[in-house]
Structure 1
Amino acid sequence: MNSNEDMQRVEEARDVMISALAQTMVIYGVTPSVGRIYGVLYFSEVPMSLDDIKDEVAMSKASVSNAMRELLETEMVIKVWKKGERKDHFIAEKDFMRNFINFFVKNLRQERSLFMKANEQAKPILEELSESSSDEVKDIAKQDLENLNNSLDYFDWTMRLANAFESHEIFKYIPKTKDK
């Protein structure tokens, strides 16, 4: 085979992997187009501008820009400076373990935050009703308070888990690689 044919085969293999990355990211709630952009950056040998990415994935610049914002928030891509260029350029964070930890911890903290805000609003109402209402309402309010309090154990555990991921303490118990 000649060099052009070999390069075409490399591109085909990359396309397969980029598609797999995009499909995999759907599992984590990321759209396939964002996953595809990450895949393109992952296999890029050089930093890419928004225009470069737009051309590669055949999406509008606005869509690419929104996707890049999402990828930057989760630290899956990094903005880099390219000498002599005014445009922003981006590279992929290629450490899947780091990507997973950033994404997972961000979602755990967001889940806890949403629940704790709701808890702050609901708990005083339920406490009041558990003390000064009809027996039926008191019983329901007390049960709901018990459920809220029981859920706090879960959120305490998830925060300890998130902290163990961020500090890499988790790797003492589950190493990144298996011993060979």
Structure 2
Amino acid sequence: MKNEEEILAHSRDMMISAIAQTMVIYGVTPSVGRIYGVLYFSTEPMSLDDIKTQVAMSKASVSNGMRELLETEMVIKVWKKGDRKDHYVAEKDFLKNFLSFFIKKIRHERNLIIKATEQAQPNLEKIATNSEDKQLKEEARKDLDLIKESYSYFEWTMQLANAMESGEIFNFIPKNPEKKEE
């Protein structure tokens, strides 16, 4: 039986490593990906100390990684009867994780650009309207045109985020497409 236990542990380690590597694609560090992978395969809620032991990282690193996973809603804090420590479980629905992650990224991108636009646009409009320098005036107009052109992109990405959040996107791309009969 020991051999089967080792094979199971090895198989889980391979999957945890693969999860950690794929999370790098989305800008998450491998160590945070490993924390998620350990929680994903855990059948019980885990404390920071439990996780620390499994991933061989410092408690501070695990705590920081956990904070990142909580912010992206890939991990949920749970109460465990008889224990004062915080415990965590992984959200095991990859599709839910994917949607949540991208909705936040899309909205964050839009907010950054909108804030910059709100600060830059009045200055560009003043230059485009009042400058004595024809070249500066033309450059300011071109910059304003670029900003205006970006609005359609941000409107589209917000529609995408809203469709992802509401589930409307599944009307176009079903979660479980029926297998076509041949």
Query: For the superposition of Structure 1 and Structure 2, which TM-score range results when normalised by the shorter chain?
Result: over 0.9
Secondary structure in 2 matching 1:45: coil
List structure 1 segments (4+ residues) > 6 angstroms apart after TM superposition: none
Residue 89 of structure 2: aligned partner: 91
Residues of 2 paired with 1:106 and 1:175: CA distance?
Answer: 21
Q: State the shift of 1:29 in Å.
A: 0.2
Q: Where do residues 61-76 of structure 1 align in structure 2 (5 Å cutoff)?
A: 61-76=59-74
Q: CA deviation at 1:93?
A: 0.2
Paired residue secondary structure (1:75): coil
2:25 match: 27
Q: What TM-score do the two structures reach when normalised by structure 2?
A: 0.97
SS at match of 1:174: coil
Question: Gaps spanning 5+ residues in structure 1: where?
Answer: none
- 1:140 deviates by 0.5
Deviation of 1:7 (Å): 1.1
Is 1:8 the equivalent of 2:10?
Answer: no
Identity of aligned residues (%): 64
Aligned pairs, number: 178
| Unpaired runs of at least 5, structure 2 | none
| Deviation of the 1:177 alpha carbon | 1.4
Tell me the equivalent position of 1:56.
Answer: 54
User: Could you say which residue in structure 1 is the equivalent of 2:109?
Assistant: 111
Deviations 1:82-128 (A, max 9, x none): 00000000000000000001100000011000000000010000000
2:120 paired residue among 116, 119, 122: 122
2:80 maps to amino acid: K
Alignment-mate amino acid for residue 72 of structure 2: T
Letter in 2 for 1:67: G
